[in-house]
Amino acid sequence: MVSKGERLEIFDSFENSDLAWFWATDAQGRVRYLSQKAMDQFDPCRPVIGEPLANLLQTAREDDDQSEAKPISYLLSAHSSFTELVVCLKKEASSGNCHKWWQLTGRPQFDDRNDFTGYRGIVKDITASYEEKRKTSRMAEFDALTGLSNRHRMAQRLTTALIAYKIEKRSCALIMLDLDRFKQVNDTLGHPAGDELLRQVSQRLQRVAPAGAEIGRLGGDEFQLIVPDLDDRGKLGDAANRMIQMISQPYSIEGSRAIIGTSVGIAVAPYDGVESAELVKAADLALYAAKGGGRGQFRFYSNDLKETAEDRREIEEELRDAMAREQLAMHYQPQVDARNHMVRGFEALLRWNHPEHGPISPTIFIPVAEDSGLIDGLGAWALQQACRDAAEWPGNFPVSVNVSARQFLAEDLPDIVDRALRDSGLPPSRLELEITESVFMGDIGNAAIMFEKLAKLGVKLALDDFGTGYSSLSYLRKAPFNKLKIDQSFVRGCAQDGDKGNAIIHAIADLAKAMDMVTTAEGVEAMDELETIARLEVDYVQGFIFSRAVPQSEVLEKLASGELRYEPSGPAKFRSERRTLFRRIGVVHEDHHYVAMLRDLSRTGARIEGLLDVPIGTELVLDLGEGQIVVGKVRRSQDATQGIEFETALVSDGAGGLCTRHRVSPYMLAAIGAPLQALRGGNHLAAVAGGRSTPGTRPRFMQVDVGGGASRAG
């Protein structure tokens, strides 16, 4: 039989082996005993014996983002046994910071009267194995490059959130981002620079992301944000713009200056999707639309984006054959002297007249061409055709041709330009290449070399959309530009009191004169804009006020006539843009539902047609479709046409259109018997109101059938 002394010797030997240590507390949870080697892991100046165990240890969490695990004091108060509980040592009594990890096993102790006397147990140091486990777990859930959540974790988080939010009837926004021109940085500066750029992007995103958002990197240059409890599309649009602006600022990478942009797609549950896969697809379609709209933009998901995506695929296929089928043509918009209105040159603009679909806007097919790589062939053809056409013009009028950033960085651009000049016989001095500020990203050395090669050919260079892109003023000193083109965003409303575009245009004109450059203001449409531009000493004007882009035959006719002056024609004053629409909407007055035609839409109001003799001051509710409900008051009324002022202004949908901040909730529709699903196309107000008028009441207005011309009541 082992003696008491031998038992103590075994006990001491076990404690000193580091296999495990012993601990004990009193009934109040204060430490009565702790093996010396365990005590040695605490600060020597820190008391251990007599301290509450809860002040020394805290329970570990399985996931860094979960809520705090139950504290030690709670577990001890239960007077129940526990096994292999993972805890960490607090650095200080009031601190949650951990530096050691233990595995704690304990059993409650009771005296002869069954009164609780404390705990006894063993503890193991598992720091090395636990840290390795956490590291492995983190590698499985977090992106090693940026430290953000990875695709796997983001998918799990979104699925978990949507399941919980369905029960709690909460909303959740999903924001998708794709970096613009990131591949160009990788190609010019190398992959290590690309990695550093991604790290800096992730840091910027964390600074400007909406509060409470979880940010993840899905791989490559794709990022995703999950934003709980935010369905206000005004706030989401503002957040998207902040991210676009922040990410578009220059980056300093290994002594080089890199500039990228981003496109953003936004979908919101439960409006755009109830299940995870449905919401991700919606956000992806919105992102695709943002990239197709010219990049550096955001888009909200809408039901028509599926059709738009299919249209883009069809456009890409047919664009490949458009040149061979002679569907493409060059049109020319005059650049006119701002003071005497004499023509000074023309800008060549590509046009596509599809035999079935008619004219297709360059804002649609040019982004498709850039995404698909077709822009190289289109650009070379446009340059050749513009030079041939300009060579036929009487006089020495120059022609301006747009060159995309991709074309500009292609090594064969000088050869293409030289060939176009030689084949057409056009003097180099009459060719002006318009480039945007995006060429100043990535390797600046390559851009400088390209400028030098083009300058040797004798062609002129214009900086297009000046002030809206990514360059700094220092590049104006380095690059051999002859002209600055002032973007139309500064021209719009420049004559209005308090508009800052006026000051910006004046500053650009002064800067250009100081650097011996000329200026052209783009997009001038109203007489007050023209007068302001001339007063600010801008050299040339281009816009609908003088002429749209016209085919070569009309240019030749104009120049042959000898009448080289253009007469301005346009509205007296700039007017805030209204979208002219022709679609049916629902209208509700009191308990009655009507159908009207939406003719115009602005942020603050609309023009509708379809209700006869509606008194001024009448309150109407407009159902714009897809859950968009607007309350408004009639401010103008004549016959079957009403002008409505909205109670709450609309917000930008990112596509140049407008949308409501909030929508009818699918949870509300589910409450009245509809299945819980994303909002489909069409109107929802009738469903919310019960789908029919209140019995016993008569409609106040006569509804006109704007489609067929008949009229009926109610």
Please write the tens of the pLDDT for every residue from 321-348.
Answer: 787 777 889 999 999 999 999 999 999 9
Pick from 96, 95, 84, 71: which is nearest to 126 by CA?
Answer: 84
Please write the tens of the pLDDT for every residue from 350-395.
Answer: 998 888 778 888 877 887 787 777 888 889 999 999 999 999 999 8
The CATH class given to the 142-303 domain equals alpha beta
| Contacts with 601 (C-beta within 8 Å, 6 or more apart), sequence order | 578, 579, 581, 650, 658
Instruction: State the Cα–Cα distance between residues 598 and 611, nearest whole angstrom.
Output: 12
Percent with pLDDT over 70 in the chain: 86
Instruction: State the Cα–Cα distance between residues 546 and 341, nearest whole angstrom.
Output: 9
Determine the topology of domain 4-134 in CATH.
Beta-Lactamase (3.30.450)
Q: Counting every residue, how long is the chain?
A: 714
User: On the CB side of 259, how many CA atoms lie within 13 Å of its CA?
Assistant: 17
Backbone φ and ψ for 705, nearest 5 degrees, come out as: -80, 95
Q: Cα-atom radius of gyration of the chain, to the nearest Å?
A: 35
The answer to whether residues 523 and 492 touch, using CB atoms and an 8 Å cutoff, is yes
Residue ranges, CATH 2.40.10, the chain: 579-713
Residue ranges, CATH 3.30.70.270, the chain: 142-303
| Contacts with 588 (C-beta within 8 Å, 6 or more apart), sequence order | 594, 620, 621, 623, 685, 689
Q: Which pLDDT score is estimated for 19?
A: 78
Instruction: State the Cα–Cα distance between residues 334 and 568, nearest whole angstrom.
Output: 12
Q: pLDDT-derived band of residue 90, with 50, 70 and 90 as boundaries?
A: confident
pLDDT at 643 over 90: yes
Return the SS3 of 287: helix
| Contacts with 469 (C-beta within 8 Å, 6 or more apart), sequence order | 436, 437, 438, 440
pLDDT at 107 over 60: yes
Name the E strands within 157-260: 172-180, 214-219, 222-228, 251-253, 256-258
pTM (whole model) above 0.85:
no
Residue indicated by tokens 């998708």? 176
Instruction: State the Cα–Cα distance between residues 83 and 669, nearest whole angstrom.
Output: 49
**DSSP letters for 549-591:** -EEHHHHHHHHHHT--B----S-SS-----EEEEEEEEEEETT
Buried/exposed code over 290-320 (b: 16+ C-beta within 10 A; e: otherwise)? bbbbebbbbbbbbbebeebeebbeebbebbe
Residue ranges, CATH 3.30.450.20, the chain: 4-134
Sheet containing strand 214-219, edge to edge, reads 214-219, 222-228, 172-180, 261-269, 298-300
Phi/psi region, residue 682 (left: phi>0; alpha: psi -120 to 50; beta: rest), is left
Pick from 502, 383, 536, 519: which is nearest to 464 by CA?
Answer: 519
Please write the tens of the pLDDT for every residue from 680-695.
Answer: 766 666 665 554 444 5
Pick from 468, 524, 532: which is nearest to 506 by CA?
Answer: 532
Q: Which pLDDT score is estimated for 195?
A: 92
Pick from 556, 565, 568: which is nearest to 395 by CA?
Answer: 556
Per-residue tokens: 124: 């193991």
- What secondary structure letter does DSSP report for 428? G
| Contacts with 342 (C-beta within 8 Å, 6 or more apart), sequence order | 336, 564, 565, 566
Please write the tens of the pLDDT for every residue from 546-604.
Answer: 999 999 999 999 999 989 999 998 888 766 554 455 688 899 988 888 989 998 898 99
Percent with pLDDT over 90 in the chain: 43
Instruction: State the Cα–Cα distance between residues 588 and 629, nearest whole angstrom.
Output: 10
Please write the tens of the pLDDT for every residue from 5-44.
Answer: 676 776 777 777 777 889 999 999 999 999 988 888 888 8
CATH code of the domain made up of 328-561: 3.20.20.450
Report the mean per-residue pLDDT for the chain.
84
Residue ranges, CATH 3.20.20.450, the chain: 328-561
Q: Which range has the top average pLDDT, 60-64, 172-176, 315-319? A: 172-176
pLDDT at 254 over 70: yes
Instruction: Label each residue of 82-98 as H, E or C.
Output: EEEEEEEEECCCCCCCE
Please write the tens of the pLDDT for every residue from 259-285.
Answer: 888 999 999 999 999 999 999 999 999
CATH number 1.10.1330 given to 579-713: no
Give me the amino acid identity at 211: A
Strands 611-612 and 619-625: unpaired
Q: Which pLDDT score is estimated for 707?
A: 56
Buried/exposed code over 616-649 (b: 16+ C-beta within 10 A; e: otherwise)? eebebbbbbbbbbbbebbbeebeebbbbbebeee
